[in-house]
Amino acid sequence: MDRLVWIDCEMTGLDPASDVLLEVACLVTDGELNVVGDGTDLVIAAPEAALDAMVPVVKDMHETSGLTAAVRKSTLSVAEAERQVLAYVRSLVPENRRAPLCGNSIATDRSFLARYMPELDGYLHYRMIDVSSVKELARRWYPRAYYAAPVKHGGHRALADIRESIEELRYYRRTVFVPHPGPTTDEARAASVEIRAETDAAAQPSSSGDGGAERSSPDPATAEATDTTQPAPNA
């Protein structure tokens, strides 16, 4: 199996040292980005002080989405949420540290998993697939594809955001990646040789100008004898 684990978190802020998890959702896909299983979406109870400490933009966002009200009704602890998500992941990905973590700007989510759900974090491979990285490259290399990407409507709820991240990667795979089945082995090897040659050539000092090459100092006597621009003594 070559499955991918998609996780999205909603938090009171972006600092795992002072902010807390409010919602965590998880979906698993196969390598072709087909969703496997039903997924899980859990709202976590949080102290009122943590909700009050949210900055205005985050407070408005979570109130508009309905998350704040759901958090106030929830009795689910972080530990129990971790247990449920990990059980779901293990049911579909039985191999420890095999599946990478996927999502949008996933490093932020992972920092919260590392702090609040360390067993789940440790079960996943250290590598991550960040759709936002693909998006940033598309913006620079294939701007028409970037600007035509599907519009997001997730509304900052975890499970909806995951589904949109999967949709987004499927879109970029179709529009900017090499079509299936990709290059032949010979074509891939030829491209590898060409890229390495370009890299090596770029690393060589330029033959014109300074080029970073060290210049040897001329012999003073030779320089004086050949330099006709020097003024005559006592001129």
Amino acid residing at 20: V
| Cα–Cα dist 90/93, whole Å | 5
Cis? peptide before 183, omega within 30° of 0 = no
Alpha carbon 165 to chain centroid, angstroms: 11
Among this protein's residues, is 126 annotated catalytic? yes
**How many CB atoms within 10 Å of residue 24?**
29
| Cα–Cα dist 71/67, whole Å | 6
- Rounded-to-10 torsion of CA 113, 173, 157, 59: 80
Which residue in the list 88, 116, 123, 126 is annotated as catalytic? Answer: 126
How far is the CA of 85 from the CAs of 61, 79, 81, in angstroms? 24, 10, 6
| Cα–Cα dist 102/93, whole Å | 14
Partner residues linked to 23 by β-bridges: 10, 43
Those residues with Cβ within 8 angstroms of residue 59's Cβ, 6 or more apart along the chain or in another chain: 51, 68
Could you write out the DSSP letters of every residue in 58-76? HHHHHHHHTHHHHHHH---
| Cα–Cα dist 210/157, whole Å | 57
Which residues are known to be catalytic?
Answer: 126
